[in-house]
Amino acid sequence: MHHPTRWTPQAKKLFIVLITLFFLLYLTYKPYDGLNQIDSSLLKRIFGLYFFVINQTLGIIHEGGHGVCYLLHCPQFMTALNGTLFQWGVPLGIALYYKRSQNLIAYYLTLFILAISMDYTAWYISTSNQGLYLPASKSFLGVDGYHDFNYILSTLSLLKYYKILSVIVKISSIVLMFYAYFQIVIEILSEDRKSNS
C-alpha cells in the first residue's frame, strides 16, 4: 500500500524550483551538443557532471539490450533494435511500476527520464546518414562503433527519411518532457489541496 509523501511547504517550493531549473537547463545545454567544448559557465560545468552520469547510465542500458541479443543469438536486426528498446523500455517499466504503486511523482519523474532517453535517440537517428560506422566523436559511448539506426533504417528502406523520423522522435520527447514536468508540478501542488480539505 502506498503512503503519500508528506511535503513541507519549503520542500515543495524547493523541488518545484529544482525541477524547473533542471528542465530549463536541459533545454539549454543539450547533452550531445558540443559538451566537449570548453565553457567556463558554472552551470554548464555542473550540468556536465549530470551528462556524464546520464550518458553512462543510458549507454549501459542501451548496450545491455544489445548484450541480451548477443547471448540469445538474435537476428542482426533485432540486435540493432534491442539497444533502443532497452533504453526506452527500462524507464517505461520503472514508470509503470511507480504508477501501479500510486507514487505519481516518481511516475512522472521516470517519464521525464524516458523523454530524455527519447531525445538522445532523436539525436542518434539524426546522425544515421553518416554511415554504418560511427566515429567516437559522435558515438553515444565515446568510442568507435556500429551505427544501429543506419542499419535499421537501411534495412527498412527508410534511411532517406532519417530527418523526418528524428524530428518525430524529438517532438515526442519534448511533448513527453513538458507533460511530465507539468504533471509533477500539478501533483505537488494538488497535495496541498488534498491535505487542506
Q: What pLDDT score was predicted for residue 195?
A: 58
Q: Which amino acid would we find at residue 192?
A: D
Q: Which runs of consecutive H residues, i.e. helices, occur in the chain?
A: 9-28, 42-72, 76-100, 104-126, 148-155, 162-196
pTM: predicted TM-score of the whole model, two decimal places: 0.84
Would 2 be classed as within a structural domain?
Answer: no
- Taking each helix axis from N to C end, the angle separating 104-126 and 42-72, rounded to the nearest 10 degrees, works out to 80
Calculate Rg over the CA atoms of the chain.
19
Q: What pLDDT score was predicted for residue 35?
A: 47
Residues in the chain: 197
Each residue's pLDDT tens digit, 46-62: 777 777 777 778 888 99
Q: What pLDDT score was predicted for residue 1?
A: 47
**Intra-chain end-to-end CA distance of the chain, in Å:** 22
Q: What angle do CA 129, 115, 19 make, to 5 degrees?
A: 135
Domains held by the chain: number: 1
How many Å apart are CA 65 and CA 78, to the nearest integer? 10
Would 3 be classed as within a structural domain?
Answer: no
Q: What pLDDT score was predicted for residue 38?
A: 47
Would 1 be classed as within a structural domain?
Answer: no
Would 134 be classed as within a structural domain?
Answer: yes
C-beta atoms surrounding 1 within 10 Å: 4
**What are the per-10-residue average pLDDT scores of the chain (197 residues)?**
65 86 78 56 72 80 92 95 96 97 94 94 91 72 80 96 97 96 91 61
Do 62 and 86 contact (CB within 8 A), yes or no?
yes
Domain containing 191: what range? 9-196
Would 51 be classed as within a structural domain?
Answer: yes
Cα distances (angstroms) measured from residue 92 to each of 16, 112, 171, 183, 195: 23, 10, 18, 16, 30
